[in-house]
Amino acid sequence: MPRLFGNYSLAPRSKNVGVIGVAYALAAYLLWGLTPIYWKELRAFSGLEILAQRVVWSLLFLAILIAIFRQWSAVRRVIGSWRRLAPLIVTAVLVSFNWGVYIWTVNAGNVLEASLGYFMTPLMSVLLGVIFLRERLRLWQGLAVLLAGAGVVILTVSIGVFPWVGLSLAVSFGFYGLIRKIVPTEPLVGLITETTLLLPVALVYIAYISATGTAVAKSADLGLWLLLIGGGVVTSLPLLWFAQAAKRLQYSTLGLVQYVAPSIQFMLAVFLYGERFTNAHLVTFACIWGGLVIYTVDVARIYRRSQTMVTPPPE
């Protein structure tokens, strides 16, 4: 079983890297899928105030983890190296943009639109993996991606409006994951560096809304404050798990597993929040999950074949 926050011991890595990577990916996407329930409890706050508070409490939570795992020297090495720091500046901007758009969309009552964005994200991940990482798709994997893509196109056309929110979410998180995969920085160290880079902006914004009397947090009750503080954990944990998965899996594989999160968001939007469900949504859902099943079966088939080709060691 993978550790909750990743492997920071000196023990050899497990041979079942792919299985561990999938476990991390599923944990991240399951939690991301359920986050609309959490963020809707904070709808009294503006999206920017939630975003600023997320940065502050995420940093505190990550600092505790860094202290537990004694990773402060690794953080200093990253901050002291422009070659390592520069990509994390880019990822910090990308993830903060993604957070802000997502919170605004959910609290505006458009969970279905947010789920469309994350339905597009796996396709973006597959595309980026093929273009930048030279990852190759086998025939059935390519067909799975095309089937899932067809579902997204059907839903987009049926809405009749250019999906700028969905594309914003897909492009920002797609490139975030790509850069985090290729940057040689441990997930926990990279995430606390990103959050630290965002902290000055978050503090300036909190100070501004406090001075102008528009900060909801100043008059919030204990329950809302606990939700704000817990937002640090809800923000950081899935990103840590995602980064661990990205280090272990092909980016195209990671992209296909990612359909778990928007599917959960999709069901929440329709069955919990009563957002409009059409035949186009049904077709999209069937195409995407059909593609995911095809992709998963093909990967499992190749894995079993590789296992049978391994020669057992002599006794």
Angle at 291 between CA 256 and CA 27, to 5 degrees: 35
Residue 170: name the closest of 255, 86, 103, 244 by CA: 255
Q: Does 184 have pLDDT greater than 50? A: yes
The pLDDT of residue 276 is 79
For residues 250 and 271, give the distance between their C-alpha atoms in angstroms, rounded to a whole number: 33
Q: Does 243 have pLDDT greater than 80? A: yes
The pLDDT of residue 2 is 47
Q: Residue 83: CB partners within 8 Å, gap ≥ 6? A: none
pTM for this structure? 0.79
**85-123 per-position pLDDT tens digit:** 999 999 999 999 998 998 888 888 888 888 878 877 877
Domain assignments of the chain as residue spans, ordered by start: 17-305
The pLDDT of residue 307 is 63
The CA-atom distances, in angstroms, between 214 and each of 39, 46, 105, 107, 183 are 19, 10, 21, 18, 39
The pLDDT of residue 176 is 92
- Our CA dihedral for 29, 34, 40, 41, rounded to 10 degrees, sits at -120
The pLDDT of residue 17 is 62
For residues 33 and 263, give the distance between their C-alpha atoms in angstroms, rounded to a whole number: 7
Residue 92 token pair: 């910090």
**257-315 per-position pLDDT tens digit:** 778 888 898 889 888 888 877 788 788 778 877 887 887 788 778 767 766 655 454 44
